[in-house]
């Protein structure tokens, strides 16, 4: 029995010490949570600009191959260019995980490219060809401008959606003595 009493006494002293230490820190300011995985608005914008630059480089490469009579290579580069130019300007939204914006503006760009390609294929009606190419080119241009302008706000929205929220057990001093509770902290 004396061994059991010593063990019970040691546990009681340990619990009392832990409770005293936790209530001693009740008046201190709570520690801030670790920083969340944040996305940079500048990086998002830079990725969108980089996507447009890669698109422009693919266009220049395709033209150079066609001018040098490399028909097969030119077609391969043209296919890659359509993919790069459809998704490249959305790189900032991809980084910020704004999948809805990627779908909307990338899809609109794909429709614009399709309109341009259909315009190239129309040989019998020059007016229709010109209209299809005009509408397609403007659709692509406007969707690129919108993607560039929305990239920084997509990163800020990501940060707002993933703001740190913590729930922590706390011990607080009250007039009647220490009391246990739960604290909720975060950015709202």
Domain membership flag for residue 96: yes
67, pLDDT greater than 50: yes
Q: In this structure, is residue 97 part of a structural domain?
A: yes
- The CA dihedral of 133, 135, 137, 139, to the nearest 10 degrees, is -150
Q: What is the pLDDT of residue 22?
A: 47
Per-residue pLDDT, averaged over 31-57, amounts to 82
In a domain, 131, yes or no: yes
Lowest mean pLDDT among 68-77, 95-104, 139-148: 68-77
What is the structure's pLDDT at 63? 74
Residue 113 lies in a domain: yes
CA 121 distance to own-chain centroid: 38
Check residue 112 and give its pLDDT: 94
- Domain limits for position 90: 41-161
In the numeric block, the tokens 């929305």 are attached to 150
Residue 144 lies in a domain: yes
Distances (CA, A) of 168 to 33, 162, 181, 187: 10, 18, 9, 15
Domain count, the chain: 1
Let me know if residue 8 belongs to a domain: no
More confident position, 4 or 188? 4
* Domain assignment of residue 51, yes or no: yes
H or E stretch covering 180: strand 177-186
Alpha carbon separation from 171 to 15, 100, 165, 179 (Å, rounded): 14, 44, 19, 6
- Asked whether residue 62 is domain-assigned, the answer is yes
Is residue 21 predicted with pLDDT exceeding 50?
A: no
Spatial contact of 136 and 112, defined as CB atoms under 8 Å apart:
yes
What pLDDT was estimated at residue 178?
73
């Amino acid at each position: 029995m004396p061994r059991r009493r010593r063990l019970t006494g040691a546990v009681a002293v340990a619990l009392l010490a832990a409770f005293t230490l936790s209530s001693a820190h009740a008046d201190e300011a709570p520690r801030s949570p670790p920083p969340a995985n944040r996305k940079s608005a500048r990086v998002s914008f830079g990725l969108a600009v980089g996507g447009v630059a890669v698109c422009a480089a693919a266009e220049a490469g395709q033209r150079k191959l066609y001018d040098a009579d490399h028909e097969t290579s030119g077609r391969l580069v043209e296919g890659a260019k359509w993919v790069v130019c459809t998704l490249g300007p959305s790189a900032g939204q991809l980084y910020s995980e704004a999948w809805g914006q990627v779908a909307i503006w990338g899809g609109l760009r794909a429709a614009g490219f399709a309109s341009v390609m259909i315009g190239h294929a129309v040989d019998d009606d020059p007016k229709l060809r010109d209209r299809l190419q005009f509408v397609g080119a403007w659709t692509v241009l406007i969707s690129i401008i919108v993607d560039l302008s929305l990239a920084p706000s997509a990163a800020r929205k990501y940060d707002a959606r993933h703001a740190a929220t913590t729930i922590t057990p706390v011990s607080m001093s009250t007039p009647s003595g220490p009391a246990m509770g739960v604290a909720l902290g975060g950015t709202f």
